[in-house]
Amino acid sequence: MNLDGRVPDEGACVELGIAIGSGKRCYGFKTDTRSIELGLDLNPMISGCMIKVFKNNDGEQLIREKRIPV
């Protein structure tokens, strides 16, 4: 689940609930620093559904690391 933005997307939260209720393994990623700058962290009701939340505050670095050579 993409956790970027000021708050998690409502539709994605519904999909997360459906996935977790169906027994799926759920992961999140966050590259957005806006909530960190405000001293907020992820809502435990969201992050508690995740097996792992991957955080990378340098989105450009994340893109470089995941780029597949052609």
Three-class SS of residue 44?
Answer: helix
Residue with tokens 């992961």: 27
pLDDT tens readout for residues 4-25: 877 788 999 999 999 999 999 9
pLDDT at 16 (0 to 100): 94
Is pLDDT above 80 for 2? Answer: yes
Range in 13-22, 38-47, 49-58 with the lowest mean pLDDT:
38-47
Of 8, 21, 9, nearest in space to 49 by CA: 21
Degrees to nearest 5, angle at CA 17 with 32 and 42: 30
Which sign does the torsion angle of CA 15, 16, 20, 26 carry? positive
